[in-house]
């Protein structure tokens, strides 16, 4: 099937002979040996190559050959809307096999692909032919539209381009949920059993094909649900040999952000005494991390005024962290003077949001971190990093997962012990969480990652479950479901700690937290607010 869909550019190959080989019953049955061709395909000859210069170019396909082999559709002038570089500012996704790249094309003809900027000629060189300029280098590529898909042929490689329609959700990498055979062959070893816990890269099945052993390994950590293959089986490409389920963490750390991220977005200012009592009650409930305040300007976030006094007065518990948010060197100096031993810094995966939030670009935020984070680490401080707008931005819309990985990696390289991945406006869905967190796990240690979901559209708990299923074991939440972000329109509705605890405990996952005492802490604070507590558990447990 793959050969039948192949488009040959410029050079005639022996596809007919290859089809005859792979479709032969002996090949399918795995009866492969050095005399295979002589025994089964004697007398069949490979087609001769065309004479030099016949439709070939040095190292890349010629436009005429491309049009000839793609048929009549390629001969017609491509309509204006079919030219991917002439559609204004759009986001397109380029795929070649498993390789995926994201490109942003601007009205001026420029494009950014995986963070690298290219200049692209505004006017095409001919029907379906475009010029790409990269510095002093000029390259020609060819474009053909087939329905809603654009095929781009460049430097001997065929890409499939999908334009991201308005409001459409970008394609995501999906976990197939099993281990599949990559080629026809015979199973000669099975090292898997139902219920077995496996690590990514662990050898599970060995298939012999063309007298070579092909070891198939677990694509991720997980628990084996079923084993479909047994020694001696003949299998074809795509056959599911092992079904791999998820392994949920046995214990989850609940990172409480209510006294900071919760209260900072409340219209009613809560006094220092009440904030101290709230923090103490949450720590008494068994929470091992409670973010008690923020050393930000009281002019911009008046709800956090007095955080130095709150930090000094909160009773410290052995093994519990009481971090504070610090935006810059001045904030760190104030926090250190108040006795802070744990701090948190913040940036975003969206340039526009970062500028609206802290009046700085992403790069500028890291320049600020360099002014105090190294010193904090030398002082023995524990440092957490927040990445906002990882699943969507109120200003830019879609956020490229590659950008999330880039920013999180930079925070880790800067010395952050833990990085919290945030859905600031509550637009994420479980498949998106699996995709983004899966990419992050390829770049960073699992224990360095946490998730921070808002329940704006009712998906927070579903997103937590998706994160748990890929092994994330630290989840942010806000007691009572308080707050959000004052600089993110529509960011109301932090995930309620009570709702999270109810789900985790019901699933048999340990937290070390007393749900009833967290609920009592939220209810004690409720009279100081101007609205009922959003937590569904609190409302149901009246």
Closest CA to 410 of 453, 367, 379: 367
The total number of residues shown for the chain amounts to 542
Q: For residue 361, what pLDDT band results from cuts at 50, 70 and 90?
A: very high
Kindly state the average pLDDT of the residues 85-101.
Answer: 50
Calculate mean pLDDT across residues 407-411. Answer: 97
- Please state which of the ranges 78-92, 108-122, 257-271 shows the lowest mean pLDDT: 78-92
H or E, element range at 401: helix 401-413
DSSP classification of residue 319: T
Task: Give the per-residue pLDDT at 107.
Answer: 52
Residue 416 annotated in active site: no
User: Average pLDDT of 149-158?
Assistant: 61
Closest residue by Cα to residue 350 from 395, 416, 384: 395
Q: What letter would DSSP give residue 364? A: H
pLDDT-derived band at 130 (thresholds 50, 70, 90) equals: low
How confident is the model over 23-41, as pLDDT tens digits? Answer: 788 877 777 776 777 777 7
> How far apart (Å, rounded) are the C-alpha atoms in residues 186 and 268?
69
Q: What is the pLDDT of residue 73?
A: 34
Q: pLDDT value at position 71?
A: 37
HSE at residue 26, side-chain half, CA atoms within 13 A, is 14
The pLDDT of residue 494 is above 60: yes
Cβ neighbour number for residue 16 with a 10 Å cutoff = 12
- Read off the pLDDT band of 67 (50, 70, 90): very low
- Average pLDDT (518-540) is 93
How many CB atoms are closer than 10 A to CB 485?
Answer: 23
Confidence of residue 150 (pLDDT cuts 50, 70, 90): low
Catalytic residue among 143, 390, 393, 485: 485
90 vs 258 pLDDT, higher one: 258
Query: Region 357-373: what's the mean pLDDT?
Result: 94
> Among 203-207, 513-517, 528-532, where is mean pLDDT lowest?
528-532
User: What is the bridge-based pairing of β-strands 253-256 and 474-477?
Assistant: parallel
Confidence of residue 214 (pLDDT cuts 50, 70, 90): confident
Give the mean pLDDT of the chain.
80
| 524 to 257, 277, 291: CA distances (angstroms) | 17, 9, 18
The proportion of the chain whose per-residue pLDDT surpasses 70, expressed as a percent, equals 70
In the predicted model, what is the mean pLDDT of residues 294-323?
Answer: 95
- pLDDT at site 513: 98
User: CA angle, corner 402, sides to 139 and 478, nearest 5?
Assistant: 160
Main-chain dihedrals φ then ψ at residue 327, nearest 5 degrees: -90, -20
User: Which pLDDT band, with edges at 50, 70 and 90, does 321 fall under?
Assistant: very high
Assigned token pair, 294: 């923020």
The better pLDDT of the pair 286, 9 is held by: 286
Q: Of 519 and 96, which is predicted with more confidence? A: 519
User: Measuring CA to CA, which residue among 396, 395, 291 is closest to residue 346?
Assistant: 291
Which of 531 and 432 is assigned the larger pLDDT?
432
User: Please, what's the b/e burial string for 186-223 (b: 16 or more CB within 10 A of its CB; e: otherwise)?
Assistant: bbebbebeeebebeeeeebbbbebeeeeeebebbbbbe
**Position 87 pLDDT exceeds 90:** no
- What structural domains does the chain harbor? 63-163 (3.30.700), 178-245 (2.40.50.100), 253-508 (3.20.20.70)
- The dihedral formed by the CA atoms of 3, 4, 9 and 10, expressed in degrees to the nearest 10: 90
Task: Report the C-alpha gap between 76 and 94 in whole angstroms.
Answer: 23
Mean pLDDT, range 431-460, rounded to an integer: 93
Output the pTM of the full model: 0.64
Which two three-digit tokens encode residue 409?
């990696």
Residue 221 pLDDT > 90 = no
Contact by Cβ (8 Å): 475, 414: no
Local confidence band at 195 (pLDDT 50, 70, 90 cut-offs): confident
For residue 122, pLDDT over 60 is answered with: no
């Amino acid at each position: 099937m793959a050969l039948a869909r192949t488009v040959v550019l410029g050079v005639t190959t022996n596809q007919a002979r290859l089809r005859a080989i792979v479709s032969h019953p002996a090949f399918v049955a795995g009866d492969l040996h050095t005399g295979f061709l002589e025994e089964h395909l004697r007398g069949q000859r490979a087609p001769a190559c065309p004479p030099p210069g016949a439709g070939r170019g040095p190292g890349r396909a010629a436009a005429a050959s491309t049009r000839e082999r793609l048929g009549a559709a390629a001969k017609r002038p491509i309509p204006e809307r079919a030219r991917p570089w002439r559609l204004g500012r759009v986001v397109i996704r380029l795929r070649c096999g498993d390789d995926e790249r994201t490109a942003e094309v601007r009205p001026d003809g420029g494009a950014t692909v995986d963070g690298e900027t290219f200049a692209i000629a505004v006017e095409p060189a001919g029907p379906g032919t475009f010029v790409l300029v990269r510095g002093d280098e000029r390259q020609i590529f060819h474009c053909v539209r087939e329905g809603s898909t654009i095929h781009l042929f460049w430097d001997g490689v065929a890409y499939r381009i999908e334009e991201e329609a308005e409001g459409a959700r970008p394609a995501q990498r999906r976990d197939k949920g099993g281990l599949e055979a990559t080629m026809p062959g015979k199973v000669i070893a099975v090292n898997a059993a139902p219920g077995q816990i496996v690590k990514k890269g662990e050898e599970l099945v060995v298939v012999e094909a063309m007298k070579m052993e092909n070891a198939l390994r677990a694509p991720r950590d997980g628990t084996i649900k079923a084993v479909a293959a047994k020694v001696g089986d003949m299998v074809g490409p795509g056959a599911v040999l092992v079904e791999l389920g998820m392994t949920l963490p046995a214990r989850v750390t609940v990172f409480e952000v209510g006294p900071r991220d919760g209260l900072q977005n409340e219209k009613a200012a809560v006094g220092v005494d009440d904030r101290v009592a709230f923090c103490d009650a949450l720590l008494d409930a068994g929470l091992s991390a409670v973010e008690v305040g923020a050393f930000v300007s009281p002019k911009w976030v008046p709800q956090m005024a007095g955080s130095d006094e709150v930090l000094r007065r909160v009773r410290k518990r052995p093994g519990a962290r009481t971090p504070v948010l610090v935006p810059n060197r001045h904030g760190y100096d104030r926090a250190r003077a108040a006795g802070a031993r744990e701090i948190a810094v913040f940036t975003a995966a969206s340039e526009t949001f970062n500028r609206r939030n802290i009046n700085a670009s992403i790069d500028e935020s890291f320049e600020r971190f360099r002014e105090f984070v190294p010193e904090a680490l030398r002082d023995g401080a524990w440092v957490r990093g927040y990445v906002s707008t990882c699943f969507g931005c109120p200003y830019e819309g879609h956020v490229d997962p590659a950008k999330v990985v880039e920013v999180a990696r930079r925070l880790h390289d800067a010395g952050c012990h833990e990085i919290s991945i945030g859905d600031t406006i509550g637009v994420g869905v479980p498949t998106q969480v699996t995709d983004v967190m899966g990419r992050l796990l390829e770049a960073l240690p699992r224990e360095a990652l946490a998730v921070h979901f808002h329940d704006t559209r009712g998906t927070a708990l579903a997103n937590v479950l998706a994160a748990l299923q890929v092994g994330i074991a630290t989840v942010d939440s806000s007691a009572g479901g308080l707050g959000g972000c004052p600089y993110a329109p529509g960011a109301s509705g932090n995930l309620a700690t009570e709702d999270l605890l109810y789900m985790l405990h019901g699933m048999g996952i340990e937290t070390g937290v007393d749900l009833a005492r967290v609920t009592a802490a939220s209810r004690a604070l409720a009279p100081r607010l101007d609205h009922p507590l959003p937590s569904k558990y609190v409302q149901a447990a009246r």
